[in-house]
Every structure is written in structure tokens, then in C-alpha cells.
Amino acid sequence: MEKASASAWRKFNARYNMIGNVCKTCNTKYFPPRIVCKNCGRNTKMEEYQFSGKGEIFSFTKIHVPSEAFKESAPYVIGVIKLEEGPMIEGHIVDSGKEPQIGAKVKQVFRRMYTDGEEGLITYHFKFELI
Amino acid sequence: MRDVAIIGIGLTKFGERWEHGMRELMAEAGVKAITDANIGSKDVEIVYGSTMASGRFVGQEHMAALLADQLGFKNIPAVRIENACASGGSALRQGYMAVASGMHNIVVVGGVEKMTDVTTSEATTALGGAGDQEWELSQGITFPGLYALMAKRHMHEYGTTEEQLASVAVKNHENAAKNEYAQFRKPISIQDVLKSKVVAEPLKVFDCSPISDGAAVVVLAPLEIAKKYNDTPIKIAASAQASDTLGLSERESLTELKATKIAAANAYKNAGVKPSDINVVEVHDCFTIAEILAIEDLGFYEKGKAAKAIFDGETKLNSKLSVNTSGGLKGCGHPVGATGIKQAVEITMQLRGEAKERQVNGAEIGMTHNVGGSGATAVVHIMKRAN
Ligand SMILES: CC(C)(COP(=O)(O)OP(=O)(O)OC[C@H]1O[C@@H](n2cnc3c(N)ncnc32)[C@H](O)[C@@H]1OP(=O)(O)O)[C@@H](O)C(=O)NCCC(=O)NCCS
Ligand SMILES: [Zn+2]
């Protein structure tokens, strides 16, 4: 995880602002953004697309045994979120005192993710909060 | 295309093998396999090796050349195959293609993983690379976490219960108790599973395959000359593989593995058999939910029906369909790079009639099912007694 800051920076637009993309050839929206449209191949015409950050919980779990970078934060709740624009994405569901449930509505919030490497660089990321 | 047969098998005991490193494990399984095949080192033309993350676990890459060297196969080509937890099945398929194509005659396929030298959280990070690093692992979504997301959705859609999940582990520990190569030899109860420590809700420690050391090796040859080496060659009747998105949430459904369905459909077609013809199957039960998904996606049960069938005992040894007679990944252990090849070793033992206490009566046709990541790779092989 020590070198993760550069890779986090490359994903800045998506991870901070939930900017995905849309293929102008077939109108399919993607989050996370990708280069090649699954339908259109070499005829892909991608443009940036701002997702609303709203959606609902499709599935969720609470992780008790974490990976190394998340040792300090366990346990934490992860959801598969179906965004209102169509795509699904995994993300943290922050503790708001409410119990997560499949079908429950969520909105995107901006939070600290973990502290990175020896320099203690703080990484931020979108997370989700129950409405 | 030529018919391909397995003429030799070798396995180490799985588990925490702290006195043995990666190369000793490979050598142990390798010597058994070439002895079983009754071949000399000079007979081997190419080696396919599989390990998922030896670089992360022991700092050693370039594993296939090491395997060839450790077995004294001087200067032959050696290729490492990495496909996460499906590395072994994928390597087997490469070996199969090398023989089927006519390019090579005697081919050795070996898999290994030495996982217990690192801490559980380091292992969890390394295994997390089987999923989508940029959108899953980077958010702390572990491997058990991915399968927990599938389990939760399966429970929601089909009413699957934690007791039914637990019954997969109970059955597989029961089989493992009969397998001298298995990591866990102690039968467990549903209560033991339910009471074990939570890893990622609803999965507990006993719903998970363990962290294991181990190696498995097979020797392949064209069927037409296989009898020269072995009285009971086992024919690989079909070898099929498919892929899917690395990220779990990019798929339409969390309750099926499309790659498994596609690979299985191709395997049945190529072997000319249907699910009801299969007598014994080793499926990829990295987590209890994975065995439920597997026997549904492989066509043995309708979607949503497998959990109850397992709970009711239909997949126990010598019942309706014998599933994971080795103990599966859950009971036998899951040294990731070795698993896909170990499955082929188990089916070979079953079809040869050498599985002792865990022998499936009259086993004629068997199947292996190896999954990488949360379903981004699936490999299915169908095997038959060649007679
Ligand atoms: C489940 C898991 C987190 C448990 O690791 P852990 O919390 O470090 O467990 P420990 O090593 O402390 O073991 C505690 C006890 O449980 C036992 N145990 C550990 N994992 C077990 C498992 N999966 N099943 C049954 N028993 C297990 C140990 O033998 C030990 O018993 P002991 O106290 O009698 O010696 C770990 O095995 C794991 O990550 N498994 C998943 C591996 C994976 O993702 N593989 C890839 C899938 S494709
Ligand atoms: Zn398109």
C-alpha cells in the first residue's frame, strides 16, 4: 500500500466526485469510468458523466477480518450500491445509527478512507450514508 | 486434436507445513507424480506451473522454471500460469492443450502455494488481488467480503439460511476426515460453524477455506500411448474455461457465476454428457456460499434449490451426487495455486477406485470446477475412466 498515493491520485475524479462516463454511441453509463464501451468496442465515444451519488443497497456485509490497510477501521460495513443511473458499485456504508438493509436508499458522502504508508498520507474516497 | 489422459498424480498433505518451503512442497508432489506415471525425468517435454501469489507469500516469482529444476527436468520449457485461485485449473488446461494439439507428448502440470509464512492480514491483502484492486481491495473489501456480499444477496433472493451455509462446511469436514491429505481431519457440527468467529457477515471462520500450504502435480500424455505408463489412464473428456468482470458489482447478478455457467455448458457439450451423468465432482468451495452457487451454476440444481439439498444430505459421499469428496477447499485446504490441480488428483483417485474410505461407488465420470477471484475465471474439466 506504500505506493498507493499515485494510484489514488489517478482516480481522483471518480473517487472524490463520482464522475464516471457515458458512451455517446449507445448511451450506456459507466461507473467506475472505463475506456472501452462493453457494447461498442472500437466505436466507443466516451464523455465524462456526473453521477448523482444516489442509489440503493443491493447487498451488504460487515467485514470483521480486514486487509492490512484497514486494520484500524474494522469492523466496517461494505455495500453493493445500485446507483440510480444504473451501474452498481461497492462502497463503505458509514455508521449513521441506522441498520443497513437490502433496498434501503443511500446517498454519497465524502470521507477519509485510510492513512497511507509511512508518511501518513490521508486518502479520501466516496462512501455512502443511509437516507 | 488428440485425446489426453492423466497418467500420474502426486499430492502433498495440505495444511500448515512450516518445516517445508515452496520448493520442498513442489518436489514432494512432483516425485510422487512422476513415480506414479512411471516416467523418467528425460521423458518430460514441458512444465506448466501455477501459483497465485508466491511473490507476495514468499518473495519468489518465476515458479515454473524452479519446479522444472527441482524435479531435475533439465532445460525444458517451463511456463507459469497465474489466474488467481483458478491458476491450477488454468495450468491444467494449458497442459491439456499442449498434448491435444500434438505439440508435446509428456507434460507435467504442477501447482503450489506456501501461504502460512505471512500473517492473516498480509494473506488477506495478497488474496484480495484476485478481485478488483482499484475498486474493491483499495476500499478494504476482502475476499471473504466479496463472497459475503454474494451470500447476503442469495439469502435475500432465495431464503438461504446460515444453517444451510454451515451444512456445506459440516459435509466437507466429514469428507476431509476421511482424507489423509486434508488439512482438517475433525468433523464439526452446524453449531460449531455458527459459533465460530465472524469474518465477513454472514460468513464465519468455519464458512471459509483456510490459509494453507501444499502442492499438487499431474502428468499428462496422449491417450493412445497412456497405457504404456499406467494401467488406468483417466481421459480428460473436456476442458473448458470462461471469464467475467474482475469487479463483483459490475455483474448483472450476484447469485450466479456466469463464467461457471458458460464453461460448464461448453464442457458438457464437448464431453457429450449431461449433469446427471456425473458421479463425483470437486467444486470450488472457497466459501460455503460458493459451493451452493457452484452446484446450481453447474446445472446439478435449479437456482435457489441447492442450499436445501445440501442441508438435506443429497450431496454427501455416496448419496445423490457426491460433492467435494476430498473435503473441498474448506476441509482439505486451499493452497490457491495448487487447488485446481488437487481437484484433478482427487477425481483421478476416484475414477481409478483408489479413494479408500471416501470412494464413490462405481464412479465412472467426474468433474472439476475451479474459480478465480469472485468469478472472473472459471475452469471446468470432465474426466472419464479410459478403460
Ligand atoms: C478465515 C480466516 C480469516 C481465519 O484466519 P484467522 O482468523 O487468522 O484464524 P487463526 O489462524 O487465528 O485460527 C484460529 C483457529 O481456527 C482454525 N481455523 C483457521 N481457519 C480456519 C478455517 N478456514 N476453517 C476451520 N478452522 C480454521 C485454526 O486451525 C485455529 O485453530 P486452533 O486454535 O485449534 O489452532 C482465514 O483462514 C482466511 O482468510 N480464509 C480465507 C482464505 C481465502 O480467502 N482464500 C481464497 C479464497 S478463493
Ligand atoms: Zn457504447
**Domains held by chain A: number:** 1
Q: Is B170 in the pocket of ligand 1 (CB under 6 A)?
A: no
What pLDDT score does A11 carry?
82
Partner B contacted by A7 (CB < 8 A)? yes
Of B124, B152, B156, nearest to A61 by CB-CB distance is B152
Which of these, B195, B130, B39, B160, lies nearest to B375 by C-alpha position?
B130
pLDDT above 90: residue A47? yes
What single-letter amino acid sits at B170? Answer: V
Counting Cβ atoms within 10 Å, is residue A10 exposed (0-12), middle (13-18) or buried (19+)? exposed
Write the ipTM: 0.95
User: Which CATH number is A77's domain given?
Assistant: 2.40.50
Set of cell numbers at residue B165? 451455509
- For the CA of B16, the nearest ligand: 1
Would you say residue A16 lies in a domain? no
CA–CA dist B375, B198 (Å, integer): 23
| Interface touch A65/B144, C-beta < 8 Å | yes
| Interface touch B141/A8, C-beta < 8 Å | no
Task: Write out the residue range of the structural domain in which residue A59 sits.
Answer: 53-130
Would you say residue A94 lies in a domain? yes
Residue-range domains of chain B with CATH: 4-119+211-234 (3.40.47.10), 139-209+236-385 (3.40.47.10)
Name the residue of B172, B205, B288 to mutate for ligand 1: max ligand atoms within 8 A of Cβ: B205
B19: Cβ contacts below 8 Å, ≥ 6 apart: none
What confidence tens digit (pLDDT) does each residue in B76-88 have?
A: 999 999 999 999 9
Set of cell numbers at residue B64? 515454473
Would you say residue A41 lies in a domain? no
φ, ψ of residue A113 to 5 degrees: the values are -100, -65
Partner B contacted by A65 (CB < 8 A)? yes
Of B141, B153, B198, nearest to A64 by CB-CB distance is B198
Would you say residue A39 lies in a domain? no
Partner B contacted by A29 (CB < 8 A)? no
Which residue bears the cell 458509514?
Answer: A94
Rg of chain B on CA atoms, in Å: 19
Residue of chain B with shortest Cα separation from A125: B139
CA–CA dist B110, B97 (Å, integer): 15
- SS3 for A19? strand
Handedness of CA B301, B306, B310, B312 (dihedral sign): negative
What pLDDT score does A118 carry?
63
Would you say residue A111 lies in a domain? yes
Partner B contacted by A101 (CB < 8 A)? no
Neighbouring-strand partners of residue A29: A22
φ, ψ of residue B50 to 5 degrees: the values are -135, 130
What confidence tens digit (pLDDT) does each residue in B70-129 have?
A: 999 999 999 999 999 999 999 999 999 999 999 999 999 999 999 999 999 899 999 999
Say how many CB pairs under 8 Å bridge A and B.
107
Distance from the alpha carbon of residue B199 to the mean position of ligand 1, in angstroms: 9
Would you say residue A33 lies in a domain? no
What confidence tens digit (pLDDT) does each residue in B202-248 have?
A: 999 999 999 999 999 999 999 999 999 999 999 999 999 999 999 99
pLDDT-based confidence at A1, cuts 50/70/90? very low
Would you say residue A35 lies in a domain? no
Distance from the alpha carbon of residue B266 to the mean position of ligand 1, in angstroms: 35
A116 compared with B351, residue with greater pLDDT: B351
Q: Is A65 in the pocket of ligand 1 (CB under 6 A)?
A: yes
CB B10 within 8 A of CB B36: yes
What pLDDT score does B18 carry?
93
Residue A127's region, left for phi above 0, alpha for psi from -120 to 50, else beta, is: beta
Sheet containing strand A46-50, edge to edge, reads A29-30, A19-23, A46-50
Which residues of B are part of the catalytic machinery? 85, 334
Residue B142 CA, closest ligand 1 atom number? 44
Would you say residue A114 lies in a domain? yes
- For the CA of B87, the nearest ligand: 1
Beta pairing class for B46-50 and B78-81:
parallel
Instruction: Return the number of other C-beta atoms located less than 10 Å from residue B186's C-beta.
Output: 11
CA–CA dist A53, A109 (Å, integer): 8
Residue of chain B with shortest Cα separation from A124: B139
Q: Is B118 in the pocket of ligand 1 (CB under 6 A)?
A: no
Taking only the tens of pLDDT, chain B with its 387 residues reads 999 999 999 999 999 999 999 999 999 999 999 999 999 999 999 999 999 999 999 999 999 999 999 999 999 999 999 999 999 999 999 999 999 999 999 999 999 999 999 999 899 999 999 999 999 998 999 999 999 999 999 999 999 999 999 999 999 999 999 999 999 999 999 999 999 999 999 999 999 999 999 999 999 999 999 999 999 999 999 999 999 999 999 999 999 999 999 999 999 999 999 999 999 999 999 999 999 999 999 999 999 999 999 999 999 999 999 999 999 999 999 999 999 999 999 999 999 999 999 999 999 999 999 999 999 999 999 999 986
pLDDT-based confidence at A117, cuts 50/70/90? low
